[in-house]
């Protein structure tokens, strides 16, 4: 009954619910008394709708329609009088005043209080407002899906932070075991720093998850209450419609998808990078120094980094949380953990027999934007030496071009020399010290070493002599 149009239960003569309905041979139904009164004024017994002549003066009763009408009337009478009748005229509320936004009766329509007002039937107004309210729920539902996905990523990130912390702690412990008692004090210091960072970032992530959970709960409750109102009877729905819309509009809708804050993950490079060198004293023969440390939080999921963060190889894609520091490009690259904006810096890279690699420097902004031919950030700087398909290329994003280089020999080790004061980057064959290519007019901002590779051979940053 809730889904049957009330028009199907309305007599077309009296425009009210059928009373003792009868059916003509043309299949049209009318109230018994209404049909008799109609025929009393007509010369022939014809159907008021299709004008077809009836062969019987006493049409049979439509018992099925009668049962439906009685059920509808009973259902309607179960509603409270306040919902069904006008408080002023005690008439049924059949109309909705569009001007005053309230249900009214037919007497109200003709009263001075509603003069020149616009009206709609209750059913038509209800249908329109329900459609409008359903549409207003869509942004809330979209927001709920977004924050639920964000919460899932937060949970995944929390597990990843714990895994990172455990993995980092194990590596730190191995380094300290090599140095025995002499390094016990240093070990305690670094483990405490790691623990503090883990607790800080774990608590920060838990706080964010708690906030997201509260938002999800609030949105879910608002959606539930609104959907409950949508299933309410028509008049009750219209009486509460304004308050329901205001409740929906009070729900906050952010314009941007929620994201993790930068540096949300454990800073492994800080704990592991140059660890042995940083605690180097009299035991310098046991340690080595690598001028550039890879930042695993910026690595493409396909790259597998070594425990000491000085080498990588291409492997199967790893399941990692969505991270603001992780590269968004299709290239399988990783960034150095430290950027340079002053002084001179050199690092050697063992490319071995790799058939596809890239070495260079990059600005922080360039590393995180989607680089296309149509869009280049003004602050985006990327200068690199690339090797693929047997060719060497010099890539300069500032000039939006690649230059093919012809080398006399195939270098196995590449030395990069960055001179910040001269804004110059030069590539050398580390074995012969022969210059390969130079970039000039680099941006005067912090530049990060960048590395990439598609081959499954190891690409390593070589340690320097102490």
- Paired tokens of 218: 């609030």
| Res 255: pLDDT | 59
Backbone φ and ψ of 189, nearest 5°: -60, -45
Q: Is residue 278 part of a domain?
A: no
Q: Is residue 280 part of a domain?
A: no
Between CA 452 and CA 141 the distance in angstroms is 41
Between CA 268 and CA 277 the distance in angstroms is 16
Q: What is the largest CA-CA distance in the chain?
A: 125
Q: Is residue 96 part of a domain?
A: no
- Is there a contact between 108 and 97 (Cβ–Cβ < 8 Å)? yes
Is there a single domain that holds both residue 133 and residue 228? yes
Is there a single domain that holds both residue 191 and residue 295? no
- Kindly list the distances between the CA atom of residue 243 and the CA atoms of 75, 233, 247, 314, 404, in Å, as whole numbers in the listed order: 26, 16, 6, 58, 68
Backbone φ and ψ of 248, nearest 5°: -65, -40
pLDDT digits over 54-67, tens only?
878 888 999 888 88
| Res 235: pLDDT | 84
| Res 281: pLDDT | 67
| Res 374: pLDDT | 43
Domain termination residue (choose one: 45, 61, 78):
78
Q: How many domains does the chain have?
A: 3
Q: For the stretch 396-434, what's the b/e string if a residue is b when 16 or more beta carbons lie within 10 angstroms of its beta carbon? A: bbbeeeeeeeeeeeebebbbbbbbbeeeebbbbbbeeee
Report how far Cα 83 is from the mean position of its chain's Cα atoms.
Answer: 42
| Res 330: pLDDT | 58
- Is there a contact between 452 and 354 (Cβ–Cβ < 8 Å)? no
Categorise residue 195: left if φ over 0, alpha if ψ from -120 to 50, beta otherwise.
alpha
- Is there a contact between 463 and 289 (Cβ–Cβ < 8 Å)? yes
Place of tokens 């964010």: 208
Q: Is residue 315 part of a domain?
A: yes
Regions of the chain where pLDDT drops below 70: 1-6, 76-83, 253-256, 281-282, 324-331, 353, 368-379, 398-400
Q: Is residue 262 part of a domain?
A: yes
| Res 355: pLDDT | 82
Q: Is residue 95 part of a domain?
A: no
Q: Is residue 369 part of a domain?
A: yes
- Paired tokens of 189: 């210091």
**Which CATH number goes with the domain that contains 58?**
3.30.40.10
Domain termination residue (choose one: 78, 93, 115):
78
Is there a single domain that holds both residue 266 and residue 292? no
Is there a single domain that holds both residue 143 and residue 175? yes
For residue 461, give every residue at least 6 positions away whose Cβ sits within 8 Å of its Cβ, in sequence order, or none: 290, 291, 292, 293, 294, 310, 311, 347, 348, 349, 350, 451
Is there a single domain that holds both residue 62 and residue 150? no
DSSP 83: H
| Res 262: pLDDT | 83
Between CA 325 and CA 317 the distance in angstroms is 17
| Res 373: pLDDT | 41
**Which CATH number goes with the domain that contains 370?**
2.60.120.920
Is there a single domain that holds both residue 11 and residue 129? no
């Amino acid at each position: 009954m809730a889904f049957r149009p009330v028009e199907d239960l309305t007599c077309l003569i009296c425009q009210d619910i059928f009373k003792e309905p009868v059916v003509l041979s043309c299949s049209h139904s009318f109230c018994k008394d209404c049909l008799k009164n109609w025929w009393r004024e007509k010369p022939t017994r014809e159907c008021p709708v299709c004008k077809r002549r009836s062969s019987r003066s006493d049409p049979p009763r439509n018992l099925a329609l009668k049962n439906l009408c009685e059920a509808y009337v009973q259902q309607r009478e179960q509603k409270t009088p306040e919902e069904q009748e006008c408080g002023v005229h005690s008439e049924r509320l059949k109309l909705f005043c569009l001007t005053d936004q309230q249900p009214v009766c037919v007497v109200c329509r003709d009263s001075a209080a509603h003069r020149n007002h616009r009206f709609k039937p209750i059913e038509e107004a209800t249908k329109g407002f329900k459609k409008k309210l359903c549409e207003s729920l869509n942004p809330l539902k979209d927001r709920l899906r977004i924050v639920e996905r964000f919460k899932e990523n937060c949970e995944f990130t929390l597990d990843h932070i714990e895994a990172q912390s455990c993995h980092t702690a194990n590596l730190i412990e191995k380094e300290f075991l090599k140095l025995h008692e002499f390094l016990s004090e240093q070990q305690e210091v670094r483990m405490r720093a790691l623990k503090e960072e883990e607790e800080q970032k774990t608590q920060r992530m838990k706080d964010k998850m708690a906030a997201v959970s509260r938002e999800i709960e609030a949105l879910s409750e608002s959606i539930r209450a609104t959907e409950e109102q949508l299933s309410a009877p028509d008049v009750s729905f219209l009486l509460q419609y304004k308050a329901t819309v205001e409740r929906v509009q009070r729900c906050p809708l952010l314009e941007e998808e929620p994201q993790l804050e930068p540096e949300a993950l454990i800073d492994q490079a800080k704990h592991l990078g140059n660890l042995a060198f940083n605690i180097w004293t009299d035991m310098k023969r046991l340690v080595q120094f690598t001028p550039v440390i890879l930042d695993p939080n910026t690595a493409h999921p396909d790259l597998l980094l070594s425990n000491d963060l000085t080498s990588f190889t291409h492997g199967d894609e790893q399941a990692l949380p969505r991270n603001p520091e992780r590269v968004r490009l299709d290239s399988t690259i990783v960034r150095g953990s430290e950027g340079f904006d002053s002084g001179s810096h050199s690092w050697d890279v063992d490319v071995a027999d790799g058939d596809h690699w890239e070495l260079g420097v990059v600005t922080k902004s360039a590393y995180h934007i989607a680089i296309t031919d149509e869009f280049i950030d003004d602050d985006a700087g990327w200068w690199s030496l690339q090797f693929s398909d047997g060719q060497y290329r010099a890539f300069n994003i500032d000039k939006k071009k690649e230059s093919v280089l012809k080398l006399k020999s195939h270098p196995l080790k590449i030395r990069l020399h960055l001179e910040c004061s001269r804004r110059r980057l030069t590539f050398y064959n580390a074995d012969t010290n022969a210059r390969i290519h130079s970039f000039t007019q680099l941006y005067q901002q912090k530049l990060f070493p960048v590395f990439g590779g598609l081959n499954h051979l190891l690409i390593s940053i070589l340690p320097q002599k102490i």
